[in-house]
């Protein structure tokens, strides 16, 4: 069966025994606020460097195509490393994996600080692995503590809580690097990660909920849970759409600053473009409300379709730097509509008894989107100029629009 196949069969009920019960709305609301706060801290850990990293990589590699190849290698290594996280959670526990993530992040920032070719490449790999540790642990706790019917609303709230770091971080990181101290964004990143770990521990999440309820089936090997994941049509569809969304944002975060530098707008302007573009995230509650009103299927068709067309139009107008930058911001506005759904398609489809393994595969969409699109972009850049990257990204989003037709109409 192909990725377009429709899902069949019912959903299993949520059966985990946890302090926050699905039957208690007040407790569920408290869990939503707490986990949204965790994602806020995790967001600053990532976004303060999201524009610094491509700027540093470009300064070391001196070429946009070389930057693409670096991101291919880093994304592939991150994808393989992420598949080992379920085994690590069984050995170390979830809080142990979180601590490992903080350690990996600290090491990555020390390597990136050197701004040498080897240090940047290895530092980026450790950085991707650290972010994966945070994301897997937090997602598993969300699935344990947030009732299934509330997941759609939670996703909109989570993304709204992340609005400040995603709006401020990309510009602030470059500003601090260029005007204060080149090491300061790294220090802020590891400080936020340490604060996340401290908050996680102090609020009583140091225990592992998964250890209090025996698993309903034996854990699978990495190869088998890859097969298990991609044999489920709804999980495949949710993963593919997440890849498309993440790939567009990855393209925007890496190539918009490069475009700003090469067009003469400057690195700080590139950081501002990324910050303003991601700043549309403040509208996510509106998109989430519209998704609940008209259905996620219609919301995603509009989001992916409009983003595709505007991205291609932006590429056509990049000969005028200011106009090209404005068009990229409009394309980011359209892409942000997609975030009104967040990862709801996956969260509503995964079975409770295989969350750890399936979540590790699902969140690999980030790693896949970090190595597959840059691999394509590196080939494109060997023949065409930078605007062709955005044309390619627009065509990809047209493909995602077609996939949205396979979302169940009840969503």
Joined tokens for residue 304: 């992916």
pLDDT grade for 328, boundaries at 50, 70 and 90: very high
pLDDT grade for 270, boundaries at 50, 70 and 90: confident
CATH of the domain at 199: 1.20.1250.20
Query: Does the pLDDT value for residue 18 go beyond 70?
Result: no
Please answer whether residues 364 and 240 qualify as being in contact, where contact means their C-beta atoms are separated by less than 8 angstroms.
Answer: no
Please tell me the distance from the alpha carbon of residue 178 to that of residue 26, in angstroms, as a whole number. 46
| DSSP secondary structure letters along 326-360 | HHHHHHHHHHHGGGGTTTHHHHTTS-GGGHHHHHH
Question: Do the domain assignments include residue 31?
Answer: yes
Please tell me the distance from the alpha carbon of residue 107 to that of residue 95, in angstroms, as a whole number. 19
Joined tokens for residue 380: 């494109």
Joined tokens for residue 67: 């930057």
Query: Does the pLDDT value for residue 89 go beyond 70?
Result: yes
The whole-number pLDDT of residue 208 equals: 55
Question: Do the domain assignments include residue 239?
Answer: yes
Question: Do the domain assignments include residue 189?
Answer: yes
Q: What is the mean pLDDT of the chain?
A: 78
Overall domain count for the chain: 1
Please tell me the distance from the alpha carbon of residue 383 to that of residue 238, in angstroms, as a whole number. 33
Question: What are the tens digits of pLDDT across the range 294-324?
Answer: 777 888 899 999 999 999 999 999 888 899 9
Counting beta carbons within 10 angstroms of the beta carbon of residue 181, is it exposed (0 to 12), middle (13 to 18) or buried (19 or more)? Answer: exposed
| Helix ranges, 83-183 (H) | 85-92, 94-113, 117-145, 151-161, 163-179
Question: Do the domain assignments include residue 149?
Answer: yes
The whole-number pLDDT of residue 356 equals: 66
Domain with 290 in it:
25-206+220-406
Stronger pLDDT, 393 or 359, i.e. the higher one:
393
Three-state DSSP class for 205?
coil
Question: Do the domain assignments include residue 215?
Answer: no
Question: Do the domain assignments include residue 138?
Answer: yes
Question: What are the tens digits of pLDDT across the range 134-181?
Answer: 888 888 777 777 776 666 677 667 777 777 887 788 788 888 888 888
Query: Does the pLDDT value for residue 210 go beyond 60?
Result: no
Question: Do the domain assignments include residue 5?
Answer: no
**0.85 exceeded by pTM:** no
Q: CA 149 from chain center: how many Å? A: 23
Query: Does the pLDDT value for residue 212 go beyond 50?
Result: no
Question: Do the domain assignments include residue 13?
Answer: no
Please tell me the distance from the alpha carbon of residue 274 to that of residue 52, in angstroms, as a whole number. 11
Residues 6 or more apart whose CB falls under 8 angstroms from that of 45 comprise 105, 131, 134, 189, 190, 192, 193, 196
DSSP state of 188: H
């Amino acid at each position: 069966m192909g990725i377009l196949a429709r899902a069949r069969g019912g959903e299993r009920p949520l059966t985990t025994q946890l302090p926050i019960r699905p039957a208690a709305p007040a407790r569920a609301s408290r869990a939503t606020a707490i986990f949204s706060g965790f994602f806020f801290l995790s967001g600053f850990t990532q976004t303060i460097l999201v524009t610094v990293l491509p700027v540093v990589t470009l300064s070391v590699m001196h070429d946009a195509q070389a930057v693409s190849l670096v991101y291919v290698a880093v994304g592939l290594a991150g994808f393989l490393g992420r598949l080992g996280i379920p085994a690590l959670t069984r050995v170390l526990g979830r809080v142990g994996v979180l601590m490992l993530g903080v350690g990996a992040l600290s090491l990555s920032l020390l390597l990136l600080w050197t701004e040498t070719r080897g240090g940047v490449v290895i530092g980026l790999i450790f950085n991707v692995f650290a972010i994966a540790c945070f994301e897997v642990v937090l997602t598993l706790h969300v699935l344990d503590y947030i009732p299934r019917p509330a997941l759609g609303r939670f996703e909109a709230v989570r993304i709204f809580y992340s609005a400040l770091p995603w709006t401020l971080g990309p510009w602030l990181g470059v500003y601090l690097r260029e005007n204060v101290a080149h090491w300061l964004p790294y220090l802020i990143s590891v400080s936020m990660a340490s604060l996340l770990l401290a908050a996680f521990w102090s609020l009583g999440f140091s225990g592992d909920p998964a250890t209090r309820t025996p698993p309903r089936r034996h854990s699978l090997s990495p190869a088998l849970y890859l097969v298990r994941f991609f044999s489920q049509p709804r999980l495949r569809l949710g993963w593919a759409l997440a890849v498309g969304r993440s790939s567009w944002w990855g393209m925007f975060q890496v190539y918009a600053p490069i475009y700003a530098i090469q067009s003469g707008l400057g690195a700080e302007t590139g950081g501002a473009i990324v910050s303003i573009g991601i700043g549309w995230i403040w509208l996510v509650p509106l998109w989430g409300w519209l998704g609940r009103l008209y259905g996620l299927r219609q919301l995603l068709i509009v989001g992916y379709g409009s983003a595709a067309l505007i991205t291609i139009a932006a590429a056509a107008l990049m000969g005028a730097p200011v106009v090209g930058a404005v068009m990229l911001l409009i394309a980011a506005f359209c892409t942000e509509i997609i975030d009104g759904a967040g990862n709801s398609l996956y969260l509503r489809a995964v079975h409770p008894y295989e969350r750890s393994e399936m979540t590790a595969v699902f969140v690999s969409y980030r790693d896949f989107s970090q190595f597959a699109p840059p691999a394509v972009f590196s080939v494109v850049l060997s023949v065409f100029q930078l605007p062709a990257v955005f044309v390619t990204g627009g065509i990809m989003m047209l493909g995602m629009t077609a996939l949205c037709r396979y979302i169940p109409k009840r969503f």
